Amino acid sequence: MGLLLALAIGGITLVSMYYFFPSHGYWMPPYISEYGQAYDKHFMITLIITGVIFFLAQFALAYVVFRYRDTGAKAQYLLGNAKLEMLWTSAAAVLFVGLVLAGHGVWIRAHLEDAPAGAVQIEMWGQQFVWQVRYPGPDGKFGRTVPELMKESTGNPLGIDPEDPVGKDDLVMPVMAVPVNKPVEVILRSKDVIHSFSVRELRLKQDAVPGLENRLHFTASQEGSYEIPCMEICGLGHYQMRSFLQVKPEAEFNQWLAESAAPQ
Ligand SMILES: [Cu+2]
């Protein structure tokens, strides 16, 4: 029984290592933002380090399972080894802090640094269980929102205050269109619980938290349509909460905006 379990652990380890490394069976689709290269490199370094540890730990486990299998002898009682415990706990701490330090530069660039001047500003609102995308309209300013006015049945899901002249030309859409090769700033907001904006091809992910305006910015370099799933379990309908990022040529984007604004 001990031998069988040891073989199973070893087998599962080898198959998963093969799947992740030589066969490259799982990887994200090609990136389309300026952060892609740095994120993929960091992701690969993390995967290699954790992969080596996984390999060694699983084979140590298989060895121990086999070496100390039940042979009918009386089991020994061991208290553990404080020195070893301290050693691998601090090694893990150094490793994690090191990985954070190695990756924090690109994270700061996308999330904390200001968006380039002239970036297209878009608000992305999470609500159970849809995304609402708000464009500021020709004036470039978002109108005030009032929670009491948020009502889907009146066509005002974001509660844009009709008294605020700045909000008159605001545009609320179910999808996020952006111009290709132009900087875009996304301001994440939420109407109810925590949601999470994520586009694999941008290699970006950020929570939308009620009461906060979380910002990130990017420049998409490839036209196309990319899924925006909600990446935070936000309730029963979470699985169906998604929108799309449509990267269009600038002229087409402007035309899309104009056409979308026309009926209002
Ligand atoms: Cu959600």
* Residue type (1 letter), 36: G
CA of 174 relative to ligand 1 center, distance in Å: 14
CA of 249 relative to ligand 1 center, distance in Å: 29
- Residue identified by tokens 């020709």 is 138
CA of 228 relative to ligand 1 center, distance in Å: 11
- Rounded to two decimals, the pTM is 0.83
Q: Which residues pair with 215 in a beta bridge?
A: 187
Residue-level pLDDT at 109: 92
CA of 206 relative to ligand 1 center, distance in Å: 12
CA 16 centroid distance within chain: 24
CA pair distance 262, 254, nearest whole angstrom:
12
Q: Are 184 and 35 in contact (CB under 8 A)?
A: no
CA of 150 relative to ligand 1 center, distance in Å: 18
Q: Which residues contact residue 172 at a Cβ distance below 8 angstroms, ignoring those fewer than 6 apart? A: 132, 133, 134, 157, 158, 160
Q: Which residues contact residue 148 at a Cβ distance below 8 angstroms, ignoring those fewer than 6 apart? A: 159
Tens digits of pLDDT across the chain (264 residues): 788 888 998 999 888 888 777 767 677 899 999 999 999 999 889 988 988 998 999 999 999 988 888 888 888 888 889 999 999 999 999 999 999 999 999 999 999 999 998 899 999 999 999 999 999 988 888 988 888 888 888 888 888 888 888 888 889 999 999 999 999 999 999 999 999 999 999 999 999 999 999 999 999 999 999 999 999 999 999 999 999 999 999 999 999 988 888 654
Greatest CA span in the chain, whole angstroms? Answer: 84
CA of 244 relative to ligand 1 center, distance in Å: 14
CA of 235 relative to ligand 1 center, distance in Å: 7
CA of 232 relative to ligand 1 center, distance in Å: 6
Count of CB atoms situated within 10 Å of the CB of 197? 26
Residue-level pLDDT at 68: 87
CA of 234 relative to ligand 1 center, distance in Å: 5
CA of 243 relative to ligand 1 center, distance in Å: 11
* Residue type (1 letter), 113: E
Residue-level pLDDT at 262: 66
- Token reading at 107: 């994270």
Q: Which residues pair with 243 in a beta bridge?
A: 228
Q: Are 225 and 244 in contact (CB under 8 A)?
A: yes
Say whether 138 sits in a helix, a strand or coil: coil
